[in-house]
Amino acid sequence: MVEVLSKIKVEKINQSRLPEVDFDNIIFGKEFSDHMFVAEYKNGEWQNLKIVPYAPINVSPACAALHYGQAIFEGMKAYKNEKGEIFLFRPYDNAKRINISAKRMCMPEIPEEIFMEGLKQLVQIDSDWIPSNEGSSLYIRPFMFASEQLLGVRPSEEYTFIIFTAPVNSYYSVPVNVKVEMEYSRAMEGGVGFAKVAGNYGAALYPAKMGQNNGYQQLIWTDSLTHEYIEESGTMNVMFQIGNKLITPSLDLKTTLSGITRNSVLTLARELGIDVEERRVSVKEIIAAARNGELKDVFGTGTAATIAQIATITFNDERFVLPEISQRELSNQISHKLLNIKKGREIDVRNWVLKL
């Protein structure tokens, strides 16, 4: 493997596009850095590792991913502090999770050494693209797709793995309004809800769009069988503070993504002495808590948003306005603590941060 990693070829862009970027007015996911890391899987092995200028990729009209949906991805971030030091947040966890998705989708695992070395070299080459503003970061998108020319329902024998990056500001600029979704479903038991599969997001677009048309930035998904239990919210895991307890849907049924930010938030909450419950969360208990004033805080957790405060929840025709953001001690405290860890301002006692 060492020999393979030493053969990562680097082709740098002739002229950077960095001077064209207005870092104060970046639209999330619309500006991309100069380079990308590419690896190919053929004849049973990963090969042709390279860092090249960011550019469109050539695929056949018969590309297997386009027809049979073998496509997975990850989301992660790099940060730069006031000293110009660069930090990656829990990258080894992303390397592990993409292989969980790969196994479920009958795709080859990407060796951790290739994932990490390609990632580190790419971020170092494009380090000038990492914003240093508070609340800004370099979003990192590793993904893999079936690249064989194939019309036939079977696993592809060829794959392409790519990492590219994008400077970003906050995903949500204001607290979001959500609706409890009682008709459509995101995932089902025995399906791929626990994996970061492209098709999960494609299937969610239509109900999400209908929600947006009615003023909701996100949906709170419920179980596909009864719609009685909460699973996650759009691009995020979701958490509820009822009284002095922090409650979130468990991962036992494998219908919910095992979020890395989710795990980080729960870890910090426990360290702060908060009573944390990971279990089935019923719609009824959340609505009852909202009605009687016990619902102190609701927020989403994810790489893109980190912590996204939820302003209102609508269930059927009933809308509940949650406490003002300034009153939410727990989520504000954890959000502040997470940012300090990510930017190296707080000692990393959990080995979450990789300094480049």
What pLDDT, on a 0 to 100 scale, did the predictor assign at position 82? 86
Q: What is the dihedral of CA 134, 136, 138, 140, to 10 degrees?
A: 120
What pLDDT, on a 0 to 100 scale, did the predictor assign at position 24? 83
Q: Is the pLDDT of residue 77 over 90?
A: yes
What pLDDT, on a 0 to 100 scale, did the predictor assign at position 5? 59
Concatenating the DSSP letter of every residue in 201-225 gives HHHHHHHHHHHHHTT-SEEEEE-TT
What pLDDT, on a 0 to 100 scale, did the predictor assign at position 106? 97
Which residues, in sequence order, are bridge partners of residue 159? 41, 146
Q: Is the pLDDT of residue 4 over 70?
A: no
Q: Compute the Cα dihedral for 314, 319, 320, 322 and give only its sign.
A: positive
CB 248 within 8 A of CB 239: yes
Residue of 110, 166, 129 lying closest to 304 (CA atoms): 166
Q: Is the pLDDT of residue 172 over 80?
A: no
What pLDDT, on a 0 to 100 scale, did the predictor assign at position 264? 96
What mean pLDDT comes out for the span 111-132? Answer: 95
What pLDDT, on a 0 to 100 scale, did the predictor assign at position 2? 52
pLDDT in tens, 133-146: 888 899 999 999 99
pLDDT in tens, 216-248: 999 999 999 999 999 998 889 999 999 889 999
**What domains can you pick out in the chain, each with its CATH number?**
2-168 (3.30.470.10), 176-342 (3.20.10.10)
More confident: 40 or 21:
40
CB 6 within 8 A of CB 13: no
pLDDT in tens, 181-193: 999 999 999 999 9
What pLDDT, on a 0 to 100 scale, did the predictor assign at position 284? 96
pLDDT in tens, 57-69: 999 999 999 999 9
Residue of 195, 232, 240 lying closest to 74 (CA atoms): 195
Instruction: Give the predicted TM-score (pTM) of the model.
Output: 0.94
The secondary structure of 22-53, three-state, reads CHHHCCCCCCCCCEEEEEEEECCEEEEEEEEE
| pLDDT band at 25; cut points 50, 70, 90 | confident
Q: Is the pLDDT of residue 1 over 80?
A: no
Q: Is the pLDDT of residue 28 over 90?
A: no
What mean pLDDT comes out for the span 279-296? Answer: 95
Other CB atoms within 10 Å distance of the CB of residue 71: 21
pLDDT in tens, 298-335: 999 998 878 999 999 999 989 999 999 888 999 999 99
CA distance readout (Å), 100 to 20, 162, 284, 308, 329: 38, 17, 33, 26, 35
pLDDT in tens, 109-119: 999 999 999 99
Q: Is the pLDDT of residue 31 over 70?
A: yes
Strands 218-222 and 176-180: parallel
What pLDDT, on a 0 to 100 scale, did the predictor assign at position 171? 76
What mean pLDDT comes out for the span 256-276? Answer: 95
Task: Report the chain's mean pLDDT, rounded to a whole number.
Answer: 93
What mean pLDDT comes out for the span 249-259? Answer: 94
Tokens of 124: 């170092």
Query: 260-271 vs 91-104: helix axis angle to the nearest 10?
Result: 130
CB 145 within 8 A of CB 65: yes
Q: For tokens 């969980």, name the residue.
A: 100
